[in-house]
Amino acid sequence: MIRAAVFRQPVAASINAGVQKFKDYKDGVFDTSGAIIGACKVGANHWVTIVGWGVDSSSKKKYWKLKNSWGTSWGVLGYMSIVRTGDGAGECGVQNEIYYALD
């Protein structure tokens, strides 16, 4: 459902951006699965825009491509690749609450 919406347009998504690991993101596919310290919680405290999706060529991880409002010095020129799960809330709750326009 989310991929179908993102295929047509950018989608607003709530996310938990409160952990330091999220704030320090520089590149790669962001994935805290298995992390003991710094793992994201599901509770939302920030909004991002999902602008696409893909599969990382080296790790083979599926990801959402996010645009953040923190400027081009954060992430990869203001963007993040965050691991995409098939269902549930997703990494940092990114799949938990989304908004997009209907035709």
Query: Looking at residue 37, what is its pLDDT?
Result: 58
Q: Residue 48 contacts by C-beta under 8 Å, 6 or more apart in sequence?
A: 12, 13, 15, 17, 66, 67, 68, 69, 80, 94
CA–CA gap between residue 53 and residue 82 (Å, rounded): 9
pLDDT of residue 69: 97
* pTM, to two decimals: 0.90
Q: What is the reported pLDDT for 16?
A: 92
Which pLDDT value is given to residue 33?
A: 77
**pLDDT means over runs of 10, the chain (103 residues):** 91 92 94 72 89 96 96 97 86 91 79
Q: Letter for the amino acid at 67?
A: K
Q: Number of C-alpha atoms within 13 angstroms, CB side, residue 38?
A: 10
Question: What is the pLDDT at residue 36?
Answer: 58
DSSP state of 89: S
pLDDT of res. 25: 95
Q: Could you tell me the two tokens for 38?
A: 């710094």
Residue count of the chain, please give it.
103
